[in-house]
Amino acid sequence: MRNLIFILIVFAGIGFGSCTKDRKCDALSVTAPQEEVDAVAQYLDKNNITATKDAQGFFYTIEASGSGDRPKSCSNVTVTYTGKLTNGTVIDDKYSKQSISFDLGDLIVGWRAGIPLIAKGGRVTLYLPPSLAYGDKPTGPIPANSILIFTIDLLKINN
């Protein structure tokens, strides 16, 4: 009897945990305000960058599409990446050569929506308006209301 109760508790915990995770991942209905979308578009035009606009308001270029399955917005993935500001300042290149794994559901909306555009072996550059990145709060070397540029290589989909 004790074993049955333990098994039920374990499965209930797994069920509740996955529900919480699913709710977090469903938060992809966020869209950037038009003025932020326009600011990203102006940056791209000024720098002669051709990128595709996503319905959520970020822009992207797929440099390599990869092959196989694409991750979901809640997948655990392994990537390398570099992040920059529009003035060229590198804000994060710690994982440009060394990989890191994480759950997409724990990340900024722009990554949750952008990484699933490619499959394993793919590379994407994301041009994220502030509301799909870190918004109006400064974060480390990132000033408030910054447009961010991330070049991401998807090495592996872990689940």
More confident of the two residues 98 and 12: 98
The per-residue DSSP string of 5-38 comes to HHHHHHHHHHHHHHHHHHHHHTGGG----HHHHH
Q: For 95-103, what is the mean pLDDT?
A: 95
Mean pLDDT, the chain, as a whole number? 86
Lowest mean pLDDT across 17-21, 41-45, 127-131: 17-21
Domain boundaries, the chain: 29-157
Q: Which two tokens stand for residue 70?
A: 């694409």
Q: Which CATH number fits domain 29-157: 3.10.50.40, 3.60.15.10, 2.60.40.10, 3.40.50.720?
A: 3.10.50.40
Identify the pLDDT of residue 10: 29
Lowest mean pLDDT across 14-18, 53-57, 121-125, 134-138: 14-18
